[in-house]
Structure 1
Amino acid sequence: MKKLILKFVLLSDACFSRGDGTAGEVDIEVEHDQYGLPYLNGRALKGLLHEEAAELVHALSLAGSTSQNWNQIANRVFGEPGSSQETQGLVRFGNATLPPHFRQKIIDNKLNAHDVLIGLTSTRTQTANDDTGAPKPETLRMMRIIPRGTPFQAELICDDGIEEMDLAFLSACVKALRRAGSNKTRGMGKIWTSFDHFKKFEEAI
């Protein structure tokens, strides 16, 4: 197995929603662990990159790139639709968390999880708009957000059968990823990513 690290930094505020709220505080809560530290779920990260893979395969097809079977490579990396144990992808995606040294300091100091969450995030109100752009009545919502500048990193575990071109394609998907989380169309969740294998992909196309 091969372990790789995918890093990204928030260039705008983000909300990695867990799908519900916290009573008396926010209607939309961010994913966070038992220590109050926010994170992006590994399944969500894989889903975002898989979307970029589909777009990339389509773009390469339109561009007439035939040096590689890009759809096959995408399936090798992420797994085939409805994949079984035998056809699952060669890469497993861990949660994207705050940097390990920072996490360890929080854990070692045994800080209150709620205080940690409050200290690392802020809140924002939002409303739904009608066709005229006016706020719809009774749609005011409070959401918790992670501020821009916050760094994250995820561990990627690659099976032994992974090849350099698989990693190059994955790197291109990472490079294409620009936003994550809720309200991406409202300017939230803009990210800058860091991964290592993009040059090989450029050579292949």
Structure 2
Amino acid sequence: MTTEVGTITVTLESPLHLASGAADVNVDADVVHDELGLPYFPARRLRGLLYESAIEVVEMGEASDAAEQFATRSTVEALFHHDGGNVQLVVDDLHLPDDAAIAEDWRAIFAAYDGAIRPEDVLAAYTGLRMQTALDEDGRADDATLRTIRVLLPTMGNGQNLSFTGEIAIQNGTQRHWQALAWAVENLRRAGGHRWRGFGSVRCKLLPPKSQQETWKRAEQQAMQLATPEGQKSEAAKEAAKEDKDAKQQAAQGKQKSKKKKRR
């Protein structure tokens, strides 16, 4: 079994709500975090988002009759192990950059101040609270539906955008599986809950393993070329030629059927 490993990074561009399912007297919907209060991006949730994004890429390719230049449905299903084959996408939880050093620092602070600082205080450094109400059919706020949710803030105190990074691997994959994954990552622009309220805008980047980087660059160039007016004209010309060929074949088949009827 061969396993190639890349790196994926998700950067926040708006508040993000990665619900943990937990709540308390102050917050109706909390975000995912570890025992130190440090937020992270769960692997299972990321995998689901990547699959949705990959299917979008497939549908875009099918709509433009350029599926082979992007990703085919069979490739995506194999990548996410939905076909029972031997290809497998392995996704890890994504953590803050330098999370090991950050965790060590917080543990030292906890030990030094012994109970004066809690994990809730750590989480508060990365998050904020938002209050929302449910809307009725007329778009007005429903009574008694005010909820407080915690969200990850897109920027830190130093002005840098909050990001999560980690390893992502493909077992027994080929170039086309890495291409499909790369396009799914690039296409992923929304994550988390309350996306219809303006939350969850993200920017994603994949650094493939060295063995796949040149292949991905060529595929990216092909996709960019396809997106240009010249590329679209070329594809339209190819499609027109294909339709003309199909029409001629149908006409020829019709003539053959007509001849057979006359013979009878």
TM range (shorter): 0.7 to 0.9
Report percent identity of matched pairs: 28
Please give the secondary structure, in 2, of the residue aligned with 1:7: strand
Residue in 1 that maps onto 2:174: 163
Over alpha carbons, which structure has the higher Rg? Answer: 2
* Residue among 92, 95, 98 paired with 1:94: 92
Q: Is the helix fraction higher in 1 or 2?
A: 2
Q: 1:103-114 counterparts in 2 under 5 A? A: 103-110=100-107, 111=110, 112-114=118-120
AA of the residue aligned to 1:181:
G
Q: 1:45-194 counterparts in 2 under 5 A? A: 45-65=46-66, 67=68, 70-80=72-82, 86-87=84-85, 89-99=87-97, 101-110=98-107, 111=110, 112-148=118-154, 149-159=161-171, 161-194=172-205
CA distance in 2, matches of 1:47, 1:66: 22
Report the Cα offset of residue 186 of structure 1. Answer: 1.2
Segments of 5+ residues of structure 2 without an aligned counterpart are 111-117, 155-160, 208-212, 227-264
Pick closer, same or farther for the CA change 1:66–1:193 going to 2, 3 Å. Answer: closer
Task: Kindly report structure 1 stretches of 4+ aligned residues shifted beyond 4 Å.
Answer: none
- Comparing both chains, which one has the higher relative contact order based on Cα–Cα distances under 8 Å and sequence gaps of 6 or more? 1
State the aligned residue count: 198
Contact 1:168/1:200, CA 8 A, preserved across alignment: no
Residue in 1 that maps onto 2:10: 8
Report the Cα offset of residue 193 of structure 1. Answer: 1.3
TM value normalised by structure 1: 0.88
Residue in 2 that maps onto 1:40: 41
Contact 1:169/1:201, CA 8 A, preserved across alignment: no
AA of the residue aligned to 2:121:
D
Please give the secondary structure, in 2, of the residue aligned with 1:98: coil
Pick closer, same or farther for the CA change 1:46–1:200 going to 2, 3 Å. Answer: farther
Contact 2:90/2:168, CA 8 A, preserved across alignment: yes
